[in-house]
Structure 1
Amino acid sequence: MIPIPEEAVTALRAVMGQTALIPDLCALLYPDWWADRHEHEAQVRHEIHTDFLERWWPDDESLKTAAKKGELVQEAGYFWGGSSLERFRIVAQFMIWLFMWDDEFDCGNLQTNSEQAAICCRDTLAFLKWCLEVPRSDSEAPPDGQHNSGCLQDILAAMQASLSHVSMRRFADSLYAYVNAVGEAQQHRLAGLPLWNDYIDNRLLNIAMFPCILAIEYSHNLKIPAWVIDSKEMQSIARETVVSVVVANDIFSFKKEALVGQIDNALFLKVALSTHRNFQLGLEETIQELVESRDRFKASESQLLGSEEYLKLPQDVQEDVKAFILVCKFMIVGNVKWSKGTKRYLLEDAPDGVTIVNLKTKKN
């Protein structure tokens, strides 16, 4: 178990042994939103499981097994629903890389080795910049180092061939920010419990959702004006997409993380910062955060689509903006569906879409 602050140990001891029931969040929170499995999911899953993973991570058996068991291609399909086969293949590969790279920090060799974690972040950034900061000489070899990110050369090249310079610049910067944020999270992993707002602000960056959102332009071949992406309304939509994904995923992943003493979790934080130490009550308080995030998303969407600037856009551009927002909804709803169903999180199903989170430890 990872060493954690004493205040967190106390909170974990209080909730272990309790059981909470997660209601059907899609029906409760997003009854008018939807997300479907991708029509090319089976084909891309086969390609990734039999070729892509073996090519790029030939010796990482435990991580490959976890990636397959976690149904990550299904998650990618929910996230980028409706994309073409060619573009879905690329974003699904990107999601696999995110998982394989991040899991080394969460539960792999870099989990408690801050020195090696810092080296990995440094070398990853160097490789990303070699891929993204073009032009460069065709004869210039990629930098060596501890990063295991070679697959990104082809993935990022495909995106560069499609996206505008401005869109690719924005995506690249978000990817750099993600890698830096993971490194900083690793450095502070053993610190005390953060306040709620501080936790959310940090998780917004180290969960890699902003790069996933910015990849929507590529996945659906959209042309979004820079001012739309930079507008306070679209920035709010993107932020609330990430907040919703973070908080919902933390709810479903709580048991898996609690069992190994991992405290970077919104549901755990709600319980730990409370005086009630009640798992079910903490869950209900966390769900309320999702309600408020959804309401902020919908308000920003209404403001953007009703603005004079938006209404002056050509019809095809308006449709692209609507499509971008729709895919953000796919990510929110799809994350709930994937998190609810993945075997990674050790959950139990109950009638009426309810999910059981049982923290009772079995006696030998």
Structure 2
Amino acid sequence: MIPIPEEAVTALRAVMDQTAYIPDLCTLLYPNWDVDRHEHEEQVKNEIHTKFLQKWWPHHQTLKTAAIKGELVQEAGYFWSQTSLERFRIVAQFMIWLFMWDDEFDCGDLQTDIEQADICRRDTMAFLKWCLEVPRSDFEAPPGGQHNSGCMQDILRAMQSSLSHVSMRRFADSLYQYVEAVGEVQKSRMASLPTWDDYLANRLHNIAMFPCILAIEYAYDLKVPAWVIDSEAMQSIFRETVISVVVANDIFSFKKEALVGQIDNALFLKVAHGGHRGFQRGLEETIQELVESRDRFIASESEILTSEEYLKLPEQTQEDIKTFILSCKFMIVGNVKWSKSTKRYLLEHAPDGVTIVNLNTKKQ
């Protein structure tokens, strides 16, 4: 177990003999937001499992096994459900890099080694900026160091060939912010138990959802005006997409994280800060956060699609905006479907779509 504050230890001990039951969140919260698996999922999964992982992480067998077991290509298929094979291949590779890079901090060698983790973040940032900031000759060698991000050179080159300068700039900045944010959560989880607002403020960026959202434009070859992306309503949609993914993923991953003492989890905070130690009660309060986030998403979507500015746009631009918003819904619902089914989270399943989170380790 990694070092955590004493107050967190007390809260964890209080729930470790309890069981909670997660209702079918797709039916309960998103009955009209369905998403299908990508038609090319199996092909791309085979390519990634047999070639891509071995090429870029040949000596990281534990992380490779976790990536394969976690069905990460399935999650990418939900996130970018209706894209072409060529573009799905790129965003699926991007998803794999995100998990492989993050897992070194989350459950790999860098989990408790702050010094080496800082070196990895520094070297990763240098490499990403080398790829993104200045056009490079194919004969110029990239910077070395401890970053395990070599695959991103081809991924980012593919995105640069399609996205506008403004869109690529926005994506790059979100990627840099993600890399920096991973360091903050690693340090804070060992220092103190955050408030709900502080947790969300940090978690919004360290889960890498903003880069995934901004990759929608590449994935679907969309042309969305910059003023639409930057509008308050669209930024609200982005924020609620991230909140919904963060909170739902935290619900399903709670057991996996609790067993190793990770406290950067929305459900755990509801239990620890709620003045009670009831696991099911904390779960119900966490689900209510999803309800409120969904409602804010719907209100922002309506604001965009009924605005005079939107109605004056060319038909194709309107369709591109609708596709962008629809893909955000795919991410929200797809994350729930993937989180329920992945083997990463040590879950059990009951009838009617109910998921069981059993923390009584004596009964495992």
TM-score by length of 2: 0.99
Cα displacement (A) at 1:33: 0.5
**1:299, 1:254 → 2: CA distance?**
30
Per the alignment, residue 243 of structure 1 pairs with 243
Q: Structure 1 residue 362: deviation in Å? A: 1.8
Which residue is 1:278 aligned to? Answer: 278
Distance in 2 of aligned mates of 1:320 and 1:134: 29
- Aligned partner of 1:213 in structure 2 is 213
Instruction: Report deviation, 1:189.
Output: 2.4
CA contact (8 A) 1:79 1:330 kept: yes
In the alignment, the residues of structure 2 paired with residue 207 and residue 193 of structure 1 have an alpha-carbon distance, to the nearest angstrom, of: 18
RMSD over aligned CA atoms reads: 0.9
Q: Is residue 141 from structure 1 mapped to residue 141 from structure 2 by the alignment?
A: yes
- Corresponding residue for 1:312? 312
* One-letter amino acid of the structure 1 residue matched with residue 175 of structure 2: L
1:274 Cα offset (Å): 1.4
Distance in 1 between residues matched to 2:35 and 2:148, nearest whole Å? 32
Deviation at 1:212, TM superposition (A): 0.1
8 Å CA contact retained: 1:117, 1:186: no
Secondary structure of the corresponding residue to residue 181 of structure 2: helix
The 8 Å contact of residues 185 and 264 in structure 2, kept in 1 or not, is answered as no
d(CA) in 1 for partners of 2:137, 2:38? 38
Q: Residue type matched to 2:51 in 1?
A: D
Paired with 1:237 and 1:226, the residues of 2 have a C-alpha distance of: 15
Aligned mates of 2:220, 2:195 — CA distance in 1: 37
CA distance in 2, matches of 1:135, 1:93: 22
Deviations for 1:179-198, whole angstroms, at most 9, x for unmatched residues? 01112222222111111011
- Match runs of 1:225-264 below 5 Å: 225-264=225-264
The C-alpha deviation readout for 1:305-352, integer Å capped at 9, x for no partner, is: 111111111000000000000000000000000000001100000010
CA distance in 2: counterparts of 1:66 and 1:205, whole angstroms: 23
SS in structure 2 at match of 1:357: strand
Counterpart code for 1:246? V
In structure 1, what is the equivalent of residue 49 of structure 2?
49
Report the TM-score when normalising by structure 1.
Answer: 0.99
Q: AA paired with 1:157?
A: R
Q: Distance in 1 between matches of 2:59 and 2:4?
A: 31
Counterparts of 2:351 and 2:363 in 1: how far apart (Å)? 27
Q: What are the superposed Cα offsets for residues 14-50 of structure 1, whole Å, 9 maximum, x if unpaired?
A: 0001000000000000001111100000000000000
Counterpart in the other structure of 1:35:
35
2:345 alignment partner AA = Y
- The separation in 2 between residues aligned to 1:336 and 1:50, in whole angstroms, is 27
Partner of residue 105, structure 2: 105
| Separation in 2, partners of 1:165, 1:343 | 39
Residue 363 to residue 325, structure 1, CA distance change in 2 (3 Å): closer
SS at match of 2:362: coil
State the 1:176 CA deviation.
Answer: 0.4
Residue in 1 that maps onto 2:131: 131
1:138-157 CA-partner distances (Å, limit 9, x unpaired): 44321111000000000000
**What is the number of residues matched between the two proteins?**
364
Looking at structure 1, the residues matched to 188 and 344 of structure 2 have their Cα atoms a distance apart, in angstroms, of 25
Q: Deviations over 1:66-123 (max 9, x none)?
A: 0000000000000000000000000000000000000000000000000000000000
SS at match of 1:146: coil
User: For the residues of structure 1 that align with 2:223 and 2:357, how far apart are their CA atoms?
Assistant: 42
CA distance in 1, matches of 2:345, 2:54: 24
> Could you tell me which amino acid in structure 1 is paired with residue 54 of structure 2?
E
The one-letter code matched in structure 1 to 2:214 is: L
Secondary structure, counterpart of 2:276 in structure 1: coil
Name the aligned partner's letter for residue 329 of structure 1: K
1:14 corresponds in structure 2 to: 14
Structure 1, unpaired ranges of 5+? none
Q: Distance in 2 between matches of 1:185 and 1:257?
A: 14
**Percent of aligned positions with the same letter in both sequences?**
81
Q: Secondary structure at the match of 1:110?
A: coil
Find the counterpart in structure 2 of residue 269 from structure 1.
269
Contact map agreement 1:252 1:339 (CA 8 A) in 2: yes
* Aligned pairs for 1:81-120 within 5 A: 81-120=81-120
Q: Equivalent residue of 1:21, what SS?
A: strand
* Displacement after TM superposition at 1:160 (Å): 0.2
Query: Structure 1 runs of 4+ off > 3 angstroms?
Result: 136-139
Quick one: which amino acid aligns to residue 153 of structure 2? Q
Query: Contact between 1:244 and 1:294, CA under 8 Å: does it hold in 2?
Result: yes
